[in-house]
Structure formats: C-alpha cells, structure tokens
Chain A
Amino acid sequence: MNKTQGKVHSIISNLVLVRTEGPVSQNEICFIQLGNERLMAEVIKVVGDIAYVQVFESTRGLKPGSLVEFENHMLEVTLGPGLLSKNFDGLQNDLDKMTGVFLKRGEYTNPLEEDKKWSFTPLAKVGDKVTGADWLGNVKENWLDHKIMVPFKLKGEYTVASIVAAGEYTIKDTIAVLKDEAGKEIPVTMIQKWPVKVAIRNYVDKPRPSRQMETGVRVIDTMNPILEGGTGFIPGPFGTGKTVLQHALSRFADADIIIMAACGERANEVVEIFTEFPELEDPRSGRKLYERTTIIANTSNMPVAAREASVYTAMTIGEYYRSMGMKVLLLADSTSRWAQALREMSNRMEELPGQDAFPMDLSAIISNFYARAGMVYLNNGKTGSVTFIGTVSPAGGNLKEPVTESTKKVARCFYALSQARADAKRYPAIDTLESYSKYLEYPEFIEFAKKNISDTWIADVNEARNMLVRGRETAEQIDILGDDGVPLEYHVVYWKSELIDFVILQQDAFDNIDGSTAMERQKYMLNMVLGVVRSEFNFDTFEEINPYFKRIINGFKQMNYSEYQSEAFKKYEAEVNEIINERKNN
C-alpha cells in the first residue's frame, strides 16, 4: 500500500496541522521529517485535507512545509517474549537501548531483542483447529511460562498446517503456519502487533471477580479488599503517600506479572524502582521482583502526548499476559496526569471545554479504560486477569474535581488518602471509613471468604469497621464535652478504635517484616485485636485508660515488627495477654 504524504502547515507547540495529499485515518501514526530526525505523531482530528496531529516529541525548529509520511496503522505495541524486566517509555521504546544520558529527539528503539534465542515448546499440533489467542507454544521468559498465541487479529477458525519442534528460536523465526478456510497460509512468529487503543477481546467470558488478590497491605486486604480482575483507585492530595502505597502494592501483591505505568510522575520515583527491584526478592517465588515486572516510564518532563499513550501501552501489555492465563496487576501513577495530557491537546485544538477545562468526553474515556480490566475465561477454559489500580491526584485535594468524579463512577474500590492521617504520620494514610470496596458486598466474594479465610470473616471485618465508626463518634463527643464530661465507657470505646487503627490499619511500609502481612497473619491479628475489642475492662478514672491502652498498643506493635510465630512474636503476645488480663472483667 502506498503511504499518504503531507506537508506541515501550522505549528502550535506539539500540535501540528498537516496538509495531506491522500487518505488518512483517525489515530493513524505519521512521521514528520525535521532535518535528519523523524518525529512520531498521531492523527487526532481531520478537517478537510488538514490532519491535526499530536507530536510525541518537542517541535522546536520545525518549519512549515516539512515532509510528513503517514504509516497506515494506529499506535501499536509489539507483543512477544522479552517484555518483562524492561523499562519502556510511553511508546514502548526500550529506554536501556538508547544511547547517551539525555533523550534524543527522534530516537526510537526496538522493544524486543531480534537475535535472542528462546527455548520454544509446542503446545498445539498439526491439524488442530485454532482461533485468535489460542496457545500454540510455550517459551520460558525468566521463570514464567510465556505462551505464544495465534495472533489476536485473526478472526474465525484456522488449522495448524505446521508447527516447529521444540528448540531454540528467535522472535523473527516462523514457528507455525496456519491455514484459513480458503486454504490461505499464514506464517506465525513469536511476536505480533496490536493497536494500544483497542481492547484485546479474544476471550470467552468476563465474569464478575470473585477471588481476593492479596496485597500484603492490611488496610486493603482486611478492611477493603481488592479482587483479581478488580478495579480500584487511590485519590489523595500530594504528600499523603500515594506513591509509597503503590510501590508497596507492586512489591507484595500476589500477582504473576506487575506492570507499572509511571505516567507523568517524578523521574526519581521511577529510578527508585529501577534501583530497588533488581535487588528485591519476590516473597512468593523467591526470585527477583524485576523478573516479573515491566515498567512504562513516561515521566513528567517527557513529551505530553506520549504520556497519554503510556497508559494504553501498559494496559495492552497487561491484556497480552492475561491471555496467557496470568494474574496481572497494573498500576498507573497517576491517571490525573493522563487526563491533563488530554486537556492540553483539547485546549490547543480549541475544543469547547468541559469542567475545569477538561475535554467533554473525559468521563467516557476513563470508563472505557477501566473497563479493559477484569478476569476472563480464555478459549481453553483457563482464567486470566488484569487488576487495575490507578492513582488520582486531585487538584487542591478536592475530590469533587472531574477526574476523581469520573473515576469514582467506574472503579469498584476506593482508597481515600487523608491529609489528616498523613499529617499525624498514620501511614498508610488510607481513611478506612471514607474508603470502600464494593466487593465486600459481592456474593461471589462472601462465598470465597467463607471458604478461604474463615466463616466469620466478613462479620469480623464489619465488626472492626463498626468499632472504628463508634470510635470516631465518641472522639467527637469527647472533644465537645471534655474528658471528664463523658462516661468512662466513651474513653474505652475510643481507645478500642485506636487499637484497631494502630495495630491493623497502620503499617510501616519501610520495615522488612511489617511492610507486608500475609492473609493468615492478618486473620490472626484481627482475631486477637477483636478479642480485646469484645472484652470489658475495669477502670476507676478516665486517666487510667490512655496509658493502659498505650501499653497494649505498644505490645501489639512489637508483635507486628516480629517474624510471625517467632519466639519474639510469642513473647510479645504473652506480654500483651498479660496486660489484658490485668484489667479484664471476667
């Protein structure tokens, strides 16, 4: 096919108008020639023979009349073995392959390695009837089983005409030949391309999520659980610990694959991941965290249009691994920066603005994106999931702004970070009572919890939650009436809620042991804390209550810092029980 050509007509920052000399399509990719550099751009609007393109690079020095070549395809990613342990930019350029300390304009690098040999084992055999996303073979990528699949673009039924024997192949080698109904042969390699803005839908069914995804973060797992294939979001003013929380999730969550999209955020935060993940061990597999992680880094100083692309690139890679039957956790920090990228372009195109100058269709764009997450049944009956947790950075910490509101409509879990908790250094600063997980009401999850955690789990969690509500109410009463103006019982209720706060909700993300808590241990601690909550204590004056509970809390905290069921743990447990028995009303 001939490529359509065009010439630059106008330039407004990174929005360029191109006078075209043929057909172009919406979202088509084009390259603008600037000296020896080729700048990648995407069509975002067409009026007559003028195409509006957003350039993924700086347009400094670009002149009208420069040559533009259209590529006949949308923004695509390359999918195949070798995606893991990579640091990509928003357009899937391998950042490690770029030369020099500074990013060079117009430098695009191959996301995968063309000459690397992969050990391939066939799963399909000649004569098998297959369709898009069916598994043809298996490749070991790090220690994970990377499935080589029938290209997603292939619709209908195909027959495997030939497939190579087990052995070492590169991603460019043909590993199978498929025949369509008309007998046309289609060679298949280990790689395929897919347009990022289109969801991969090669699955049979997408049921409601039911299985819990353990994160190791108590305030999430115990109080507001997220499920495999679920969606959640973390809004919070700056300085409330969004990023620390996301990093904790990426390290400890029970997922096969972690994809982190650093979207318009600080470069030093990405560097932290680059530096620490190769060292950190995955607590479940004992391997290095880096081996199951892909990072899409489009930091705030990188071009804005590529920032918009970065979340789609991340999601597409997530969907790709989901099709292999993997549990994928996708973290995006922050979706507000993505929305701002949309706003900048909308503004340059002089579209009529919606609220806070965001584009009118912001809400639709966000809900479409969240809808791509989920657990699916694959063609072969196995399951795979993409769990998505995005952070939102609300302007001025005001949750009534468009990005937060649009996200709230679609995400099932809401983790509200509170400035007050952050100020008091009560981390993670998730305000449990403001937050919610709709999954607690899902019959599917209630069933799951009964079977896998305990019969009374949901009731226990609700009891703890109620205690927190009562604690908050009595705290207000005490504030209004004074310490001696309320019955003793008020102080006890308040301190019982503080106990839950200090022992269950607060967690030291930087401590080796307290940083992540397994479900088994969470259950144990919640039971023990509820034991205190359910007990009655003898006090004569309110002044005895505060120091008494402080001692209990201190004991519990030492337990949290000790290896589960270790000697130290048991020693502190005995101490706590001793303190409890001092005043417990039998």
Chain B
Amino acid sequence: MTTAFQKVYTKITQITKATCTLNAQGVGNDELAIVDGRLAQVVKIWGNDITLQVFSGTEGIPTNAEVTFLGKAPTLRVGDDLCGRFFNAFGDPIDGGPAVDGEEREIGGPSVNPVRRKQPSELIATGIAGIDLNNTLVSGQKIPFFADPDQPYNQVMANVALRAQTDRIILGGMGLTNDDYLYFKNLFDNAGVLDRIVSFVNTTEAPPVERLLVPDMALTAAEYFAVDKNEKVLVLLTDMTLYADALSIVSNRMDQIPSKDSMPGSLYSDLAKIYEKAVQFPAGGSITIIAVTTLSGGDITHAIPDNTGYITEGQLFLRKDAEIGKVIVDPFRSLSRLKQLVIGKKTRKDHPQVMNAAIRLYADAANARTKMENGFDLTDYDRRTLDFAKDYSNSLLAIDVNISTDQMLDTAWDLFRKYFNKAELGIKQEIVEEFGKFSE
C-alpha cells in the first residue's frame, strides 16, 4: 500500500490503549495511517502532534514503530462483486474469496440534501402483524429493535430481512458472537439468497474499536446499490449498543469529558450520521435501516437507546408474553413513525382505526389485569377485554404470525365482533358499517 515517496516516521511520543501520538507534517484530518502494520486514523491534529486512533489496539506497539500516512480517508471498493461476500470492518474479505475490484469510495460520505429526498411511501410487508398491522415499515425508514440481550432479536431481524421485498440486503455486524455470525451465514445460505446479501462483520474476537468502521462500510455499499443501481436496499445493523460502547472507549482514551452514562457528548450526532443515511431517493432507490439496540434490563432511559429513539423513526419492542408463552411485538412501546404514510393509503381504509381500537382495548385489558392482581372484582367488560387480549396476543402480536395485512385486519374485526359491541370500539361509524360485519 505504500509508495516510494512516502515518508516513514519512527518516533512515537505517546501511546495509550487506543491511540498513539507522533510528530509529523502535512497530515490531513481523518487521514489513514499504518502504524506498525496496523491501520490507524488521524483523530486530532495539535500543531505538529498527530494523534492516531489505532483500530486494532496498541498492544505491543513500540515507540520506534514505523508510521506511514496514506493520504486518504477510509475507503471501500464498490461493485457488483460485493454480493454474496463477507468482509471485515476494513472491507477485506473474510470468506476466503478474492479482493473485490471496483471503484474506490470514501466511506462516511456527505449527507443527502433534504430537498432532494423523496417522502417514503412504499410499504415493506413482513407478515408479522405486530409490525405490519401496528407498526408498519416504510422504505427509507430507520428503525431499531429495542431488546434485552436474551431476546431473539437477530432471528426476528433475519426473518424480516428475508421476507421483505427488497433488492439487496447489507448486514453490518458489530460485536457479533461467532455463533451469531454463523447463524446469519447459514440462514442466508440455506434460503438461497446469498447473492442478494453483502456482509460486513466485526465479531467479538476482533478488537472493539474496529467496529466503528462497520456502519460506514455497510452504508457506503448500500449507497452504491441505491444510488448507482436504483435498488431498494435494506441495511441491518446489529448491535448498535456495542458500536456506541466503542465510541465511548475512544472518547475516554482521548480524555474527553463524558456526558450522560459516560457516553461522549457527541453521541447524538454520531448516531444520527449513521441512521440518517436511510433515505428514499427520487430515482427510485432507497436505503432502509433496521438496527438492533440491546438494552440493559429494559432501561430505555440509558443514553444509547434514548438518543437512538430521538433519531430513528420509531422502535420495535420485543417482549415475552407469559400468558401465551410466546414472544410478541409490544404494542404499547413499539412505534413506527412513518406508518401514517402508508396505512389506510397503501393498505385498507379501516387500517388506522382498527389498529388504534385494538391497542386501546388491549390497554383496557392491562388495567383489568392490574385490578385482578389486586384482588378486585372484575366487571363483565373487564373480563371481555382480558379474553380479547389473550386472543389478540396469540393471533396477531406473536412474532410467529405470517399473514397478509388484509387478513390481519379481518382477524381484528373477528375479535371485535366476538368480544365487543360497536359503541365500545369508538370507531368511525362509516368504517364499522363498511368493514365491521356486525349483525344488527
């Protein structure tokens, strides 16, 4: 990678766990360097003191290590050859295949001009009613799963990816266990869709700071397919909590003042730069991002899920429903902000009102359950809501549901008729008449 004219520095003045500093001239901000054979990036220039972040850690780097600067920011070679391949955080193949030959592009490129974006309007159906009915996904959207580490978020996400009608899937794996990496690999292989998929994977075996490159690598590849090829691209990022942890490690090593939960003060901007790559392009291509943010004990007030929630267009919560013994998409805490753009427009007219009525009745059931747990008598209405809730959970909220949106709506009406009268639904009268099929 080095050329004959490159100057080699051999005097490092300071080394920390993640960075090293040396005296050099003519170095640009964000530029890449090789330190003792390891990839590093300029993160601070203080006069002639250049601080480098060494991605794989500084273990064993001597003060007289050879340092050369590459004169460019991190890049990825893009092309159709990316498909079906697995890469590490630097964009180098890890599947034993040859290096990809293609145009070299800087990663972490500029933002889309907001006036050149198109309003997302294409529904992405997944067959999961907890998503399609209550939290409909739209192309160009960015939405994370908020899940505790013991929940099957990677499985649900993989299912969503395989069922969704998209041209291309880009997997950005950060801190994936080797088992999960192989899970994705086998699943994609067995589904026969490997040629649609590009993967950038940083496993737990690799140094954590390397992860910082994964989202930008994945999104640069995504932009290639969405802009150059006008394709509908789905980007999966798991797990963004581990990405944020890596950010905090670096900021800590650079003596920055931490803000909430020892995260860097720039966490919001750092995450936004990634998630805002989700876009619907006017020419038809789109980038949709589905991410995973693992929580600690369901705490969404922690800085990582909190900032994520403010950036993303909703969130999907997984919860184990003890009553039916299945994992459901929690209707209270989940939200898709863009659903308004498609429900009742791309789906049946009764969709918005049916969705809201069902959730409201489910909330009434939660109140009834509290009453029951406190030992109070239940009214007839309370009992009906409880029965409804169980049915609703089983036939619609559970993640093993796989039906069309119309079937979901019909199922909901069936449940409404079974347990309630018209007045209890609070749905616009004309809608009830058209779709409710209540017998007079």
A547 touches B109 (CB 8 A): no
Q: Which of A299, A357, A482 is close to B258, meaning CB atoms less than 8 Å apart?
A: A357
Chain B's interface size range is 35 or more
B276 touches A10 (CB 8 A): no
Q: Which of B269, B302, B374, B423 is close to A344, meaning CB atoms less than 8 Å apart?
A: B269
A62 touches B28 (CB 8 A): yes
Q: Which of B48, B300, B313 is close to A268, meaning CB atoms less than 8 Å apart?
A: B313
Once the chains are docked, how many angstroms separate the CA of A132 from the CA of B426?
58
Is A172 an interface residue when CB atoms closer than 8 A count as contact?
no
| Given A264-B272, A482-B377, 18 other A-B residues pairs in contact with their CB atoms under 8 A | A13-B29, A59-B29, A60-B106, A61-B28, A64-B47, A268-B120, A299-B111, A299-B114, A347-B257, A350-B257, A396-B301, A425-B359, A425-B360, A479-B370, A482-B374, A482-B376, A510-B352, A554-B426
B44 touches A12 (CB 8 A): yes
Nearest 10 Cβ contacts at the A-B interface: A396-B301, A300-B272, A301-B276, A482-B376, A357-B259, A238-B309, A60-B30, A11-B45, A61-B28, A275-B119
Most buried by A among B117, B118, B307: B117
A-B contact pairs, 22 of them (CB 8 A): A61-B73, A62-B29, A64-B27, A95-B113, A96-B115, A101-B281, A239-B335, A264-B269, A267-B279, A272-B341, A300-B276, A301-B111, A347-B256, A396-B301, A396-B306, A425-B356, A483-B377, A546-B379, A546-B381, A547-B423, A550-B424, A561-B428
Instruction: Tell me, rounded to whole Å, the shortest Cβ–Cβ distance linking B416 to chain A.
Output: 14
A301 touches B272 (CB 8 A): yes
Which of A20-28, A102-110, A119-127, A364-372 is the contact stretch? A102-110
A268 touches B117 (CB 8 A): yes
Is A395 an interface residue when CB atoms closer than 8 A count as contact?
yes
Is B150 an interface residue when CB atoms closer than 8 A count as contact?
no
Is B371 an interface residue when CB atoms closer than 8 A count as contact?
yes
Is A9 an interface residue when CB atoms closer than 8 A count as contact?
yes
Nearest residue, chain A, Cβ from B51: A12
A266 touches B276 (CB 8 A): yes
Is B314 an interface residue when CB atoms closer than 8 A count as contact?
yes
Once the chains are docked, how many angstroms separate the CA of A357 from the CA of B370?
40
Known: A102-B110, A299-B276, A304-B269. A11 touches B376 (CB 8 A): no
Is A302 an interface residue when CB atoms closer than 8 A count as contact?
yes
Known: A10-B46, A61-B30, A103-B113. A266 touches B311 (CB 8 A): yes
Instruction: Tell me, rounded to whole Å, the shortest Cβ–Cβ distance linking B427 to chain A.
Output: 9
The count of residues in chain A whose C-beta lies closer than 8 Å to any C-beta of chain B is 79
Most buried by B among A59, A105, A299, A398: A299
List B contacts of A502 (CB < 8 A): 426
List B contacts of A425 (CB < 8 A): 356, 359-360, 363
Q: Which residues of B contact A (CB under 8 A)?
A: 25-31, 43-48, 73, 106, 109-120, 140-141, 227, 256-260, 264-266, 268-269, 272-273, 276-279, 281-282, 300-303, 306-307, 309-311, 313-315, 332-333, 335, 337-338, 340-341, 352, 356, 359-360, 363, 370-371, 374-377, 379-381, 423-424, 426, 428-429
Known: A87-B115, A266-B276, A340-B265. A510 touches B340 (CB 8 A): yes
Known: A100-B113, A266-B276. A343 touches B29 (CB 8 A): no
A353 touches B257 (CB 8 A): yes
Once the chains are docked, how many angstroms separate the CA of A357 from the CA of B363?
39
Instruction: Tell me, rounded to whole Å, the shortest Cβ–Cβ distance linking A91 to chain B.
Output: 14
B302 touches A101 (CB 8 A): no
List A contacts of B276 (CB < 8 A): 266-267, 299-301
B313 touches A266 (CB 8 A): yes
Q: Which of B106, B114, B380 is close to A87, meaning CB atoms less than 8 Å apart?
A: B114
A270 touches B306 (CB 8 A): no
Once the chains are docked, how many angstroms separate the CA of A101 from the CA of B230?
13
Q: Which of B45, B119, B335, B340 is close to A12, meaning CB atoms less than 8 Å apart?
A: B45
Q: Which of B265, B268, B371, B429 is close to A558, meaning CB atoms less than 8 Å apart?
A: B429
List B contacts of A299 (CB < 8 A): 111, 114, 276
Known: A266-B311, A271-B117, A272-B119. A63 touches B265 (CB 8 A): no
Once the chains are docked, how many angstroms separate the CA of A65 from the CA of B47?
9
Q: Which residues of A contact B (CB under 8 A)?
A: 9-13, 58-65, 87, 95-96, 98, 100-105, 237-239, 243, 264, 266-268, 270-272, 274-275, 297, 299-302, 304, 334, 337, 340, 343-344, 347, 350, 353, 356-358, 393, 395-398, 423-425, 479, 482-485, 502, 510, 542-543, 546-547, 550-551, 553-554, 557-558, 561
B266 touches A344 (CB 8 A): yes
B377 touches A395 (CB 8 A): no
Once the chains are docked, how many angstroms separate the CA of A22 from the CA of B120?
51
Nearest residue, chain A, Cβ from B360: A425
Known: A59-B29, A266-B311. A102 touches B113 (CB 8 A): yes
B265 touches A344 (CB 8 A): yes
Once the chains are docked, how many angstroms separate the CA of A85 from the CA of B128?
41
List B contacts of A393 (CB < 8 A): 310
Instruction: Tell me, rounded to whole Å, the shortest Cβ–Cβ distance linking B57 to chain A.
Output: 22
A483 touches B379 (CB 8 A): yes
List A contacts of B47 (CB < 8 A): 9-10, 64
Instruction: Tell me, rounded to whole Å, the shortest Cβ–Cβ distance linking B116 to chain A.
Output: 5
List A contacts of B268 (CB < 8 A): 264, 300, 337, 340
Once the chains are docked, how many angstroms separate the CA of A340 from the CA of B315?
22
